[in-house]
Structure 1
Amino acid sequence: MRKKARFHSLKKIKVRQDWSRWTLYNLSRLKPPNLASKTYFQQKWTAKSDTRAYHGEQVREKQWKRMFRRNLPAVVSMNYQYLARYDGSEQAAGRGAGADTTPGKDNRPENPPRTPYMQMAYYPLERRLDTAIFRALFSSSVRQARQFVVHGLVKVNGKKMVYPGYMLNPGDMFQVEPESVMFATGAPKHQSGRARRTERSLAQKRAEEREGKILKSMAPTKVPLLAEEAAAAPPDAKSDAPPTEKELKKNLQSLMEEADAALAEDVGAKDKQKLRDFRKAVRKALSLWRSSSTTTTLATLEQQLSFLKSQFASKNPSPPSLSTSGADPSPTTPSPDSETSLSPEQQTKLAAAFKRLKEEAEYTFKWGKRDPTKPYATPWRPRDYMSAFAFIPRYLEVNQKVCAAVYLRHPVARPGLAEVPTPFGYETGQLAFNWYLKRR
């Protein structure tokens, strides 16, 4: 495997097909070829070396020479009004007799732009599958696109394609796994040792803040008393009434969110196992709602809340038994005189809330939420330096929602425009084309 220090050389300018800070820096240092102090052979060889470092550097030189074509595709924009009025004989009228045509007459441009034919020297490489994936912004480099193809993550016309050098034909559709595209174009979670240390310190501070919030949220809540009871009760009297439906729902939501956020941080393996046990206990407590009475369910949830508090406060993560002492886990009908009994309407609302919380805990996270299982940063954000390279050529039709693209046609040269994306000027492309043209 090549080293980055050599692959992205800062002493010898080499522009690569990737989204990196070294490539962006080398792009700012590009200069026109030196035509004064070098021979014509040296100029051609230098242009060939610079352009080959960018166009198809993953392809061997012999393989590229077999792909090289001296016939370059191009199109000419034609004015239909002019063609309908004249048949072409007017262009030779009066020649040799002093009659000249007036520029700008009959809808003809005064200074038509030149067609950069020789900028199309590397157009056969644009048909390659790995290059097309990179041009469609499905990968951060051509080598990464090649890796996607070899690993079987790319389909062409609905069939798996494992050959990076497959030459696309007009109308071919290729698709990349969306998860791989999000990994390739998304910002990584950790970029360097310094960034990891900074993120670890910030995660530790956030964990301490969350621990304080969790301990505060798990404090026993008081149910407001009636006016007569409040007047008759002593000032230091404590209420033993169970939490209401809204309070219980709010506590469970906050606990689940804090646990998910803690799992997304860079914490140790033991702490992650403790948090996973915590979530498992909450899920099990939620699943007991339909199979147990209201009294048993509330008692179990209270026991789980105290267990969660001990998970963060102590070093012994041994979960207590789900069955409460003195409570029968079998489904029973609560007594109407029971202090913890709820009305049928409240029970229905609480069951629906528990079901929704259970579904949110079991299913994976959607866009915009933190997911510790993803190798890229969540919520998703673009990779660094991506904006400088976000360009899709005309011969591709890309659908970013399904990570698929269609190869419409081969790239062509137009007046003033070559459809092969390249960072090099016209002189460099001309010298590189002449190098391969003479050696054929």
Structure 2
Amino acid sequence: MRDANVFAFRKAMPRMSWSPRNLYNLWRRSCGAEAVAIDFTRSPKTLFQQRWISKALVRAYHGDFINEKIFKRWYLPDTLPDVRPRQHALSSNGDLDAFAGRTEQLERAKKKAYDEQKKGLAPVGSLMLAEVERRIDVFIFRCCFAHSVYEARRLVIHGSILLNGKKHTNANTRLAPGDMISVDPVAIRFLQEPGSSEAESEGEPEPKIESSNPKSSLTPFNLPPYASPFIFIPAYAEVSFPTCSAIYVRHPTARPGYSEIATPYDADGEVIRLAWEWYSKMRPRTRSKSQMAREPENRRIGGH
């Protein structure tokens, strides 16, 4: 990890980690003293300052382990997709609808349209981070095979990960739908003895991995403290814990009232929108041939 003080209370920057210090920072940003700092409704800060603060917070969680130039060039979409529901004209001729047997169908359509209108537009702001979610190290963390994204990077670099059955050591790889990753069970900390499975606290210590699992009829499962707030599996991942493997089913998406991209901020709130405004003005517009040659691996076709 680049910065040993990544969980500093002074900055209170949430990260992709199960650390108890990170949980405290999440609480501070959500409902603690630092929550007021990201409420820009009546803020004396300039628009530039609001965008800068939002950009720093979003980068701290979604990719502080990615070089800023690489993040702007390869991990940001050109535009945000439009996933708003299309409006359909509904018939209002009751007699004709009853004759055609469409009354129940139209009632369902009206109810669906009302529910979508009540929920509002889809939180497309969070989709600016969809490319980051495709990274193999982020995917391993989302599947709960590692305590943090930093540990997930170590698992990849140290050769503990198989991609479609072959050893893979490039942590910058972006997965394609259908790709399957497998993790060496010996490298998963909460499958080890309790003494070697404690959650990282300040500096993400190197995990102590035994040469083999204890001989038992059941695989030991020692969940680290403070892990429960982070235990969830995104909808685009199909995880098999008995085999320590997972399939990247599809790219994450959003719909009214729901986003598949996990973020400590409102999926379409001020912080995400201001961060997008910052990057939409600052991101590179062109890519040279030499830059294209240095593009992080972007898999187009998955498969086993």
TM score, norm. by length of structure 1 = 0.50
Partner of 2:120: 113
Task: Give, in angstroms, the shift of residue 72 of structure 1.
Answer: 2.8
Partner of 1:152: 159
Tell me whether 1:38 sits opposite 2:59 in the alignment: no
> C-alpha distance in 2, partners of 1:184/1:22?
23
1:277-311 deviation digits (Å, cap 9, x = unpaired): xxxxxxxxxxxxxxxxxxxxxxxxxxxxxxxxxxx
Residues 1:382 and 1:112: Cα distance change in structure 2 (over 3 Å): closer
Partner of 1:435: 278
Residues 1:189 and 1:430: Cα distance change in structure 2 (over 3 Å): same
SS across alignment from 1:388:
helix
SS across alignment from 2:265:
coil
Matches within 5 A, 1:43-192: 43-67=50-74, 68-73=76-81, 75-76=83-84, 106-107=110-111, 108-109=113-114, 111-183=118-190, 187-189=194-196
The AA in structure 2 aligned to 1:434 is E
Contact 1:34 1:43 in 2 (8 A): no
Task: Give, in angstroms, the shift of residue 34 of structure 1.
Answer: 3.9
Task: Give, in angstroms, the shift of residue 75 of structure 1.
Answer: 3.9
Q: Quick one: which of 241, 254, 266 aligns to 1:413?
A: 254
Residues 1:405 and 1:191: Cα distance change in structure 2 (over 3 Å): closer
> C-alpha distance in 2, partners of 1:367/1:138?
21
SS across alignment from 1:132:
helix
> Which structure: larger Rg?
1
Aligned pair count reads: 240
Residues 1:121 and 1:152: Cα distance change in structure 2 (over 3 Å): same
Task: Give, in angstroms, the shift of residue 120 of structure 1.
Answer: 1.7
Task: Give, in angstroms, the shift of residue 56 of structure 1.
Answer: 1.1
Contact 2:52 2:278 in 1 (8 A): yes
Tell me whether 1:386 sits opposite 2:227 in the alignment: yes
> C-alpha distance in 2, partners of 1:162/1:39?
43
Task: Give, in angstroms, the shift of residue 71 of structure 1.
Answer: 2.5
The AA in structure 1 aligned to 2:47 is Y
Contact 1:140 1:184 in 2 (8 A): no
Gaps of 5+ in 2: 30-34, 92-107, 200-212, 284-304
Task: Give, in angstroms, the shift of residue 365 of structure 1.
Answer: 1.3
Partner of 1:10: 9
1:376-415 deviation digits (Å, cap 9, x = unpaired): xxx5421111111001111111011101111111111211
1:171-210 deviation digits (Å, cap 9, x = unpaired): 1111111121245787444869xxxxxxxxxxxxxxxxxx
The AA in structure 1 aligned to 2:216 is K
Residues 1:173 and 1:189: Cα distance change in structure 2 (over 3 Å): closer
Contact 1:139 1:185 in 2 (8 A): no
TM score, norm. by length of structure 2 = 0.71
1:207-265 deviation digits (Å, cap 9, x = unpaired): xxxxxxxxxxxxxxxxxxxxxxxxxxxxxxxxxxxxxxxxxxxxxxxxxxxxxxxxxxx
Task: Give, in angstroms, the shift of residue 148 of structure 1.
Answer: 0.7
> C-alpha distance in 1, partners of 2:173/2:135?
6
SS across alignment from 2:251:
coil
> C-alpha distance in 1, partners of 2:282/2:118?
35
